[in-house]
Chains A and B, each alone.
Chain A
Amino acid sequence: MRVPRPGDLRRFCVVDGWVRVADAPGRRVSKHEVWTRRLADGRALHTAISKGRDEYGVPLFARILRAQLQVTAAQFWLAVDTGEAPQRPGVHSSRPQGEPLPFALAKRLLAAGLPQAELAGLSQADAERRMGELEGRQ
């Protein structure tokens, strides 16, 4: 699956008519670019472009598409590549890709010495098994 860079998300927001939330006086100044969008049916969308990495993983991108932008990957890339704004509704009934790890489990594994690269790609069942092995060793 093709994944975006922060610039692609920014381009999508511009093409799709999102409004950038300015750092107005009295409001906290964010490290992120915050964008919102009102749809004709009253729904409000929100996204914040993080500067934590210069790329997005597939599971996270799937969630951003489904929950924040509310478009399909095809609609997203069409907007980014050609400037064609997506037509809503008509989206995403499928579950997002990628199995997440519960936060507490991920933190325990890293604290127990598991390299981050090894954590990548572990299913929850594998992660729990690995935790058991690491705990058994201590």
Chain B
Amino acid sequence: MVRWQMSEARRDFSTLVERASRGEWQLVGRRARAEVVLADAAEIAELLAAAFPFAPQVFAEETGVEIWLPELEVYGQGSTLAEAQDDLVEAALDFVDAWETELRVAPNQRHKSGHARRVQLADDRARVAEVLFDATSGRPPR
């Protein structure tokens, strides 16, 4: 496996990206120690999905629906299940924003890293919804 020095990586960055997108992890560092890994985002998402599944919990009320997401400790509400799902997507995005800027260094929030990264890697709201609600999300296509 190739280990790039920082100066080489800077010079040949497009080569690193090309190789990483083919599934070859590119390790970059100073001296003999790898400090950064450049890897294919889909592969990372797949690995995270296997290790950090989501299990949303539904509380149905007569006048509405509430969903609790225990992995991030956030909730969504609505008058229907679909509305509550959409609200939970918003809450998960709110959490990840706060997690990235402030929460991730706190000792009681660090353990949420894997789940927060899964939401972070999703590109848009539809993909976030898939990550949260589709138990098969992240598995490779057959």
A interface residues with partner B (beta carbon < 8 Å): 21, 27-28, 30-32, 34, 36, 38, 42-44, 46, 48, 50, 52-53, 55-57, 59-60, 63-64, 67-68, 98, 100-107, 110, 116-117, 119-122
Contact = CB atoms under 8 A, between A and B. Distances in A.
A46 B103 contact: yes
Interface of B: 55-68, 70, 73-81, 83-84, 87, 90-91, 93-95, 97-99, 102-103, 105-109, 133, 135
B81 A42 contact: no
B139 to A, nearest CB: 15
Contact of A27 (B55, B81, B97, B103): B97
B80 to A, nearest CB: 7
Given A36-B103, A103-B67, A107-B81, A30 B95 contact: no
Nearest to B66: A60
B108 A44 contact: yes
A132 to B, nearest CB: 18
A76 B81 CA distance: 28
Contacts of B80: 116
Chain A contact residues, majority secondary structure? mixed
A50 B135 contact: no
Contacts of A21: 97-98
B109 A101 contact: no
Given A52-B84, A101-B57, 20 more contacts: A21-B97, A30-B94, A38-B106, A44-B103, A44-B105, A44-B106, A46-B95, A53-B77, A56-B77, A57-B59, A59-B68, A60-B77, A63-B68, A63-B73, A102-B55, A106-B65, A106-B81, A116-B62, A120-B61, A122-B60
A57 B66 CA distance: 8
B58 A50 contact: no
Given A42-B106, A43-B107, A64-B75, A48 B57 contact: no
Contact of A48 (B64, B84, B91): B91
